[in-house]
Structure 1
Amino acid sequence: MVTVTDVLPSSPLLQEPGAVAGPPGSPDAAVAWHYGDPFGEQRAAAQRVAIVDRSHRFVLTITGRERLSWLHTISSQAVADLADGRSAENLDLDLNGRVLNHFVLTDLGGRVWIDTEGERGQELLDFLRKMVFWADAQPEAAPGHAMLSLLGPRVPDLADVLGVEALPDVYGAVRLGDHDGFLRRMPWPTEDSYDLIVPRAELAGWWSRLTAAGAEPAGLWTYEALRVAALRPRIGIDTDDRTIPHEARWIGDIAERGAVHLNKGCYRGQETVARVQNLGKPPRHLVLLHLDGSADERPAAGDPVTAGGRAVGRLGTVIDHHELGPIALALVKRTVPADTQLLAGPMAAAIDPDSVLADDEPQAGRQAVERLRGR
Structure 2
Amino acid sequence: MTPFSELPGRVASDEGVASHYGEPLLEQRALEAGGAIVDLSHHGIVVVSGADRLSWLHSMTSQHLLALRPGESTETLLLDPNGRIERAVRVVDDGERTWLLVDAGSAAPLAAFLTRMRFALRVEVEDRSEKYATVLAFEGDARDALHSLGPAAEWRDPWSAVARGGVQYARDDAEHAGAHWSATHFVFERERLASVVDLVTRGAVRAAGVLALDALEVRAWRPSQAGDVDERTIPHELDWLRTAVHLTKGCYRGQETVAKVHNLGHPPRRLALLHLDGTGGELPVAGALVFAGPGSATEPGARPVGRVTRAALHHEWGGIALALLKRSVAEDVALEVRGGPEGADPQAAPGDPIAATQEVIVPSSAGAARSVPRLKRL
TM-score (normalizing by structure 1): 0.83
Question: Deviation digits for residues 127-152 of structure 1, max 9, x if unmatched?
Answer: 11111111111111112000001124
Q: Which residue of 2 aligns with 1:123?
A: 109
Shift of 1:287: 0.9
Shift of 1:11: 3.4
Q: Hey, what's the Cα distance between the residues in 2 that align with 1:16 and 1:82?
A: 38
* Runs of 4 or more consecutive aligned structure 1 residues displaced over 4 Å after TM superposition: none
Checking the alignment, whether the CA contact within 8 Å between 1:300 and 1:315 is kept in structure 2 is yes
Q: Hey, what's the Cα distance between the residues in 2 that align with 1:316 and 1:280?
A: 24
Checking the alignment, whether the CA contact within 8 Å between 1:75 and 1:267 is kept in structure 2 is yes
Q: Hey, what's the Cα distance between the residues in 2 that align with 1:315 and 1:360?
A: 20
Shift of 1:293: 2.8
Q: How many residues align?
A: 337
- Residue of structure 1 aligned with 2:147, choices 159, 162, 170: 162
Shift of 1:49: 1.2
1:19 corresponds to which letter in structure 2? R
Shift of 1:38: 0.6
Q: Which residue of 2 aligns with 1:170?
A: none
1:236 and 1:157, CA in 2 relative to 1: closer, same or farther beyond 3 A?
closer
Percent identical residues: 40
RMSD: 2.3
Checking the alignment, whether the CA contact within 8 Å between 2:62 and 2:246 is kept in structure 1 is yes
Checking the alignment, whether the CA contact within 8 Å between 2:33 and 2:140 is kept in structure 1 is yes
Q: Hey, what's the Cα distance between the residues in 2 that align with 1:157 and 1:118?
A: 26
1:209 and 1:109, CA in 2 relative to 1: closer, same or farther beyond 3 A?
farther
Q: Which residue of 2 aligns with 1:231?
A: 221
Q: Hey, what's the Cα distance between the residues in 1 that align with 2:281 and 2:30?
A: 29
- Residue of structure 2 aligned with 1:275, choices 260, 275, 297: 260
The residue matched to 1:320 in structure 2 has which SS? strand
Shift of 1:210: 5.8
1:359 and 1:122, CA in 2 relative to 1: closer, same or farther beyond 3 A?
same
1:347 corresponds to which letter in structure 2? P
Q: Which runs of 5+ in 1 are unaligned?
A: 1-9, 164-175, 253-257
1:363 corresponds to which letter in structure 2? A
Shift of 1:211: 5.6
Checking the alignment, whether the CA contact within 8 Å between 2:223 and 2:238 is kept in structure 1 is yes
Shift of 1:61: 0.1
Question: Deviation digits for residues 94-116 of structure 1, max 9, x if unmatched?
Answer: 11111111110110031000111
Q: Which runs of 5+ in 2 are unaligned?
A: 160-177, 297-301, 339-351
TM-score (normalizing by structure 2): 0.83
Q: Which residue of 1 aligns with 2:303?
A: 310
- Residue of structure 2 aligned with 1:20, choices 11, 29, 35: 11
Shift of 1:312: 0.7
Q: Hey, what's the Cα distance between the residues in 2 that align with 1:235 and 1:65?
A: 29
Q: Which residue of 1 aligns with 2:344?
A: none
